[in-house]
Structure 1
Amino acid sequence: MPWPSWAFWRHDPPDPPSDDPKHERPAAPPRTKSTSWDTTLNKTDWSHYTTFQTIAISSVTTATTFALYLLYKKYVRRVPNAASIKPDSFHKASYYGFVTRVGDGDGFHFFHTPGGRLMGWGWAPGRRTADIMKRGAKATNKQTMSVRMAGIDAPEMAHFGRPEQPWAKEALEWLKGSIGGRYVRVRPLKQDQYQRVVGLVERWRWGVWRQDVGLVMLRRGLATVYEAKIGSEFGGKEGVYRKAEERAKRGRVGMWRDAGMVAWLLGRKGAVETPRAYKTRMVEGEKVAKNAPSADMAK
């Protein structure tokens, strides 16, 4: 029985006896060293990983996974609050959600609902607006963004011991009726010193077009163009906003009525105090009161 070719060693059969003295033994074939069966079994055949089919399937799988990650990051991942917005998202991203609470004439709390109705927001159990609001204001506020509308300044409500400014209630009530409990889109521009998102706000009208909420308030005379010299953000709409304010002034709309003939007949002050002028006056008055000598010192 011949020895198999893969054996490490083998015995060659002895030469048959020969009477021919000239007979020579034929040369044996060269011996090759073979590997054992277990070495062959565990050996990696890299040729299987370099075939066209393997490379194509790996490339498609990787590209699909990366595309799904980008889709989740941009359209599905929920941003709970202002601190969760990445710096590179300002002026680029936009967030769709509903308004949980309107605090004043130019600020509100916003609950991000990525993907909208396609992701079950508004109709799926646990994702309905009513279900979210049942969690309570304290729990809901931790999961919402505090939004300050960019480019406008509404009259101030009474707070911190300061009196209420004229047209503050009208601005607050209009904003509540327009976006309170409704879905809007917020385009963040920056984060201010109070950890609020300063951004443009849009609402749907008749389900057909988007309407800039800040621009509507300017046209109705319920707000003025933001007048601070430092840190102002308009998202490229400053010119449009200033034109809307000028039209409201000429038409004596909203707060600008106090500068018209009716205000003169009623004995009111002719010039309108803007929210910025009001805040400046309040701060200066508080400084004077703080530096004024007390009654005991006056004695």
Structure 2
Amino acid sequence: MILRVSEPRKGCGNFKRALLDFLEQKSCSHVARHVRMPWYEWLWSSSATTSKSGSTAESKRIAKLDDKPSFAGKDSTFLGEEAAEVVKRDVPTGKIKRHFSDPFNLIAAGVLTTVTLGSFAVYWKFLRRIPQASLIRDSDWRRRSLLGYVTRVGDGDNFHLYHTPGGRLAGWGWLPWRQVPKKGRELKDRTVHVRFAGIDAPEMAHFGKPEQPGGREAIDWLKQYILHRRVRAYVYKKDLYDRAVATVYVWRWCLRRDVGLQMLNRGLATIYDAKTGAEFGAFEDMYRKAEQRAKAKKKGIWSGDMKDFESPRDYKNRLKGKGE
């Protein structure tokens, strides 16, 4: 509703009439002519409102004030005194005290505060997206998991994960603003580099090093198993290369599969047998038994002559010793 200052000020009290005159004199012409703010409507409403029971004395007093001339041109001190009188008359102090001491209002304020703080805590712990492994808080290691979309498989034992907290329930994949980027430049510095806990796969050719036997089979299998799929990674720690060491699960054929365990079962990886820094979570015994079964059945990398077998760790140490 557009209110015009130039209209007659019928039913206005002294303070309201004075404030309207003050706006006409001090405000810009376009503001004085067209005011859309809600408080302006209050200026035009009658200040002579009475309670349901009615107060004859109050009505007469307000009517007497309305008969006085306009206060346009008076200084701000006079307007302030008039405003104070209006506040004392229209907003009794007792009502304010009762408002803040009303149990219903106190309970409502407490519930609203609790819900607000609780919602923020839930968001920060479960719905906040983590773009890189280096940004995982120390308190989150071994205490939380990362649900996300596999955007790239770098080697037979590591991949890149785009964190999608909350999954489809939080809108990922079907809301327009909750889409996983597809282009490489859009994914730069926005994915968590994950290394499988407890396993070591044959090396691919990189940094001038030749490909280790079995490396191609391992990475090809891993790509068809998890690439462009949603996985959940239970993170344990950060390694020397800023990768999150984790046990990773994926749903395949309505079953939840441990990806590292599946690679050991198929003879595509060995146990990570480093002297220090090896991380298995709670699955070291299970992993070692899986490796023994694959070795007994001569699967994957165990299918050749064991005299010629070289583990991924021995392969890396040999090339390091040659200075390659």
TM-score in same-fold range (> 0.5): yes
1:67-86 to 2 correspondence within 5 Å? 67-86=118-137
Residue type of the partner of 1:220?
Answer: R
Corresponding residue for residue 311 of structure 2: 274
Question: Which aligned runs of 4 or more in structure 1 are off by greater than 4 angstroms?
Answer: 36-47
> 2:294 maps to what in 1?
248
My pick for the range that moved more, 69-78 or 176-185, is 69-78
The structure with more helix, counted as a fraction of residues:
2
**Equivalent residue for 2:275, pick from 229, 240, 255:** 229
Given candidates 230, 235, 252, the residue that maps to 1:183 is: 230
Please tell me whether Structure 1 or Structure 2 has the larger radius of gyration of its CA atoms: 1
Count, aligned residues: 238
Per the TM alignment, residue 39 of structure 1 is displaced from its structure 2 partner at its CA by 7.1
Deviation at residue 120 of structure 1 after TM alignment:
2.1
The CA deviation at 1:83 is 2.0
Task: Give the C-alpha shift of residue 188 in structure 1.
Answer: 1.1
| Contact 1:109 1:141 (C-alpha < 8 Å) held by counterparts | no
Q: Does 1:257 align with 2:303?
A: yes
Over the aligned positions, Cα root-mean-square deviation in angstroms equals: 2.1
- For the 8 Å contact 1:155–1:166, the answer to whether it is kept is yes
**In 2: Cα distance, 1:211 partner to 1:151 partner:** 15
Residues 188-236 of structure 1 show CA distances to partners (whole Å, capped at 9, x for unaligned) of: 1111121111111110122x33110000000101001111121111111
Query: Which amino acid is 2:247 matched to?
Result: L
Aligned to 1:149: 196
Q: Shift of the alpha carbon at 1:123?
A: 2.3
Structure 1 residue 126: deviation in Å? 4.5
Separation of aligned partners in 1, 2:303 and 2:275 = 26
SS at match of 1:160: coil
How much has 1:76 moved relative to structure 2?
A: 2.0
Tell me the alpha carbon deviations over residues 133-177 of structure 1, each in whole angstroms, 9 at most, x when there is no partner.
0xx213313111111111110001112222211100000000000
Gaps of 5+ in 1: 1-35, 261-269, 290-299
- What pairs with 1:121-140 in structure 2 (closer than 5 Å)? 121-129=172-180, 132-133=181-182, 136-140=183-187
Q: Hey, what does 1:111 align to over in structure 2?
A: 162
- Quote the Cα distance in structure 2 between the aligned partners of 1:209 and 1:66: 37
Structure-1 separation of matches of 2:267 and 2:261: 10
Amino acid at match of 1:115: G
Counterpart residue number, 1:194:
241
Q: Deviations over 1:92-141 (max 9, x none)?
A: 11111111111110111110111111222122324344xx10xx213313
> Does the aligned pair in 2 maintain the 1:252–1:259 contact within 8 Å?
no
Question: 3-state SS of the aligned residue for 1:147?
Answer: strand
Structure 2 segments unaligned to the other structure (5+ residues): 1-83
Aligned to 1:258, the other structure's residue is in SS state coil
Q: Which residue of 1 aligns with 2:256?
A: 210
Partner of 2:146: 95
Report the equivalent of 2:218. 171
- Within 2, Cα distance between the matches of 1:102 and 1:209? 22
